[in-house]
Amino acid sequence: MPDLKLAEKPEGYEGQGFFATRLDHVIGLARANSIWPLPFATSCCGIEFMATMGTNYDLARFGMERLSFSPRQADLLMVMGTVAKKMGPVLKQVYEQMAEPRWVLAVGACASSGGIFDTYSVLQGIDKVIPVDVYVPGCPPRPEQIIDGILQIQELVKNESLRRRHTPEYQELLASYNIH
Ligand code: SF4
pLDDT at 149: 96
- Edge-to-edge strand list for the sheet holding 103-107: 37-41, 76-80, 103-107, 134-136
Q: What is the pTM of this model?
A: 0.92
Residue 7 to residue 15: CA distance in whole angstroms: 20
Sequential DSSP letters for 36-89? -EEEEE-SHHHHHHHHHHSTTT-GGGGT-----SSGGG-SEEEEES--BGGGHH
**Choice among 18-27, 38-47, 112-121 with the minimum mean pLDDT:** 18-27
- CA-closest candidate to residue 160, choices 95, 75, 97: 75
**DSSP SS3 for 7:** coil
Q: Which of 83, 110, 116, 124 to mutate to test the pocket of ligand 1 (most atoms within 8 A of CB)?
A: 110
Give pLDDT, residue 1.
56
We find that the CATH architecture of domain 36-176 is 3-Layer(aba) Sandwich (3.40)
75/171 Cα distance (integer angstroms): 18
Pocket of ligand 1 contains residue 44 by CB under 6 Å: yes
Give me the mean pLDDT over the 165-176 stretch: 95
Predicted confidence (pLDDT) per residue in 64-104, tens digit: 878 999 999 999 999 999 999 999 999 999 999 999 999 99
Closest-lying ligand 1 atom to the alpha carbon of residue 43:
5
Percent of the chain with pLDDT over 90: 82
Residue 5 has pLDDT above 80, yes or no: no
Domain ranges, ordered by start, for the chain: 36-176
Contact predicate 116/98, CB 8 Å: no
The answer to whether the beta carbons of residues 140 and 108 sit under 8 Å apart is yes
Lowest mean pLDDT among 6-10, 50-54, 109-113: 6-10
Pocket test for ligand 1, best of 40, 44, 107, 117 (most atoms within 8 A of CB): 44
Distance 81 CA to ligand 1 centre (A): 6
d(CA 79, CA 131): 12
pLDDT at 2: 67
